[in-house]
Amino acid sequence: MKRKNGRVVFGIVIVVAALVYFGVAGFEEGKAYYKTIEELTDLGDRAYDKRLRVGGTVVEGSISKAGTGLTFQLEQNDLKLTVVYTGTSPVPDTFKDGAEALCDGTYQVDGTFKATAIQAKCASKYEAEYGTAAAEN
């Protein structure tokens, strides 16, 4: 196009380049691999240097306090994983026995998962409750 648009185009290129740069840098900083517990054990040595996210159901009665953090077990497809939570924030209110939890952190050589952040969602108990009622009838 004309020369006077040159600067505008140049400006656009700069802005887009900056966006891409920040995007890529942020991506490297923030990415975490979402793995199932099964995949986690299959990963072998490659599992230890990555930021990971695992999900599962909190095993009934497995939550116990350890120092300032806590440990609990996650269950997914009959596989269990011991999680040690070391984050600074209190765990969310929805985190309790039977809840679905997502843990961000790293896999340790001893086979436990060190979580720095936990998200939790209430298990949808609704169907389960009426389901049992139905079975009794």
Partner 1 sequence: MANFGNLSLTLAFVFAIYSILALSIGLKTRRRELVKSGQRAVYAYFVFVTCAVFSLLYLLATSNFRIEYVASVSNQAMPFYYKLAALWGGQEGSLLFWTWIIVIYAAVVVFRNRHRRTDLVPAALAVMSLTVLFFLFLNRFSESPFKELAMAHAGGGDPTPFTPADGQGLNPLLQHPVMVIHPPILYLGYVGMVVPFAFAMAALITRELGNAWITLIRRWTLVAWGFLGLGILLGGKWAYMELGWGGYWAWDPVENASLMPWLTATAFLHSVIVQEKKNMLKVWNVVLIIATYLLVIFGTFLTRSGVVSSVHAFAESSIGPFFVGYITIVGAACVMLVFSRLQYLRSDNELDSIVSRESSFLFNNLVFLGACFAVLWGTVFPVLSEAIQGEKITVGAPFFNKINIPVGLFLLFLTGVGPLLAWRKTSLRSLRKNFLWPLAAGAVVAVALFAAGVRGFYALVALYLCVFVTLTIVLEYYRGIRTRMRAHGELAHEALFRLVSKGKRRYGGYIVHFGIVLIFLGFTGNAFNKETQGEVKEGETLSIGSYELRCERIFEGEKGTYTYLAADLSVTKNGKPLGTLTPEKRYYSASEQPTTEVALRSTLVEDLYTVFAGMTDDRQRAVIQLYLNPLVAWVWIGTLVLVFGTIVAILPDAHEASIQRKKKQLERLLRSTEKM
Residues of this chain that interact with partner 1 (CB under 8 A) are: 4-5, 7-8, 11-12, 15-16, 18-19, 22-23, 25-27, 29-35, 53, 55, 64-65, 68, 88-90, 92-94, 96, 102, 104, 119, 121-122, 124-126, 130, 133-135, 137
- Torsion angles phi and psi, residue 53, rounded to 5: -130, 130
Buried b (16+ CB within 10 A) or exposed e, 34-47: ebebeebeeeeeeb
For residue 1, the SS3 value is coil
The residue among 73 and 101 lying less far from partner 1, judged by its C-beta, is 101
**Contact status, residue 46 vs residue 75, Cβ threshold 8 Å:** no
To partner 1, the closest distance from the beta carbon of 62 in angstroms equals 14
Select 67 or 110, whichever has its Cβ closest to partner 1.
67
